[in-house]
């Protein structure tokens, strides 16, 4: 009996979820298709019904992680009216953040809880160094996701904080970079201090009261 579209999509999501877990933990080179399919509790033969290669899976994993990241989930939760425009990547044009939501996103993103997540990670911070040495299609996927995040932040800065003349690209880089470094170092206290310092600086630039969380 042929598989239903629903079953096929569920299988695809299982592979993407397994790939997200293993790629963030081990990197592209150290993760095999066999390991991914074992993690997904599926046979290797089913892999090529969904993806043409491990590189193709890695590219789609970046989009999938962006859709399921802490950032995207927070936007979905805190701003219920905003929805994703397609199944593979969130569009900056579909997200209009109110001020409380925007500040809460910064709080959540720059938290040690985000750094320690094993699900819903931001691919920008969790895959940064690994993506840098991958092929152009993978780097293009990463670039698209970064551009979307930067656009969301820039749109907010250009409305609520227009008089501050802040650079959304720089703020985005600060957020992503601090989480990437906090994840790489093995000193929890230092990681927490880094995140807190970055959070304090962002709030200062915005002219908002310092975080008390």
Domains of the chain by residue range: 53-206
Q: What pLDDT was estimated at residue 84?
A: 35
Q: What pLDDT was estimated at residue 83?
A: 40
Q: Pick the closest to residue 123 from 147, 150, 149, 142 (CA basis).
A: 142
Q: What pLDDT was estimated at residue 56?
A: 97
Q: What pLDDT was estimated at residue 96?
A: 53
Do 143 and 89 touch, CB atoms closer than 8 A? no
Mean pLDDT by 10 residues, the chain (213 residues): 79 95 94 97 93 96 87 58 38 56 86 84 92 95 93 87 88 96 96 96 89 52
Query: What fold is seen in the domain 53-206?
Result: Tetracycline Repressor; domain 2 (1.10.357)
Please compute, for residue 181, the number of CA atoms within 13 A of its CA located in the half-sphere on the CB side.
Answer: 16
Element (H, E) at 194: helix 188-206
Q: What pLDDT was estimated at residue 178?
A: 97
How far apart are alpha carbons 152 and 171 in whole angstroms?
11
Q: What pLDDT was estimated at residue 97?
A: 60
Q: Which residues of 68-87 are buried (b: 16+ CB within 10 A; e: fewer)?
A: bbbbbebbbebbeebebeee
Q: What pLDDT was estimated at residue 119?
A: 67
Q: What pLDDT was estimated at residue 123?
A: 92
Do 127 and 66 touch, CB atoms closer than 8 A? no
Q: How far is CA 138 from CA 56, 110, 133, 199, in A?
A: 8, 25, 9, 30
């Amino acid at each position: 009996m042929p598989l239903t579209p629903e079953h096929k999509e569920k299988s695809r999501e299982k592979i993407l979820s397994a790939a997200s877990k293993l790629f963030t933990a081990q990197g592209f080179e150290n993760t095999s298709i066999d390991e991914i399919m074992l993690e997904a509790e599926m046979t290797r033969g089913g892999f090529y019904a969904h993806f043409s290669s491990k590189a193709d899976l890695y590219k789609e994993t970046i989009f999938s992680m962006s859709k399921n990241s802490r950032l995207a989930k927070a936007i979905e939760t805190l701003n219920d009216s905003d929805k994703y425009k397609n199944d593979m990547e969130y569009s900056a044009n579909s997200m209009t953040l109110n001020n409380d939501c925007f500040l809460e996103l910064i709080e959540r993103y720059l938290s040690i809880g985000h750094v320690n997540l094993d699900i819903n990670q931001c691919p920008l911070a969790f895959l940064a160094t690994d993506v840098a040495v991958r092929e152009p299609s993978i780097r293009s996927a990463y670039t698209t996701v970064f551009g979307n995040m930067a656009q969301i932040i820039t749109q907010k800065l250009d409305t609520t904080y227009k008089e501050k003349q802040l650079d959304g690209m720089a703020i985005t880089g600060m957020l992503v970079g601090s989480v990437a470094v906090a994840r790489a170092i093995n000193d929890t206290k230092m990681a927490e201090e880094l995140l807190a310092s970055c959070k304090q600086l962002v709030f200062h630039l915005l002219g908002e009261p310092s975080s008390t969380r």
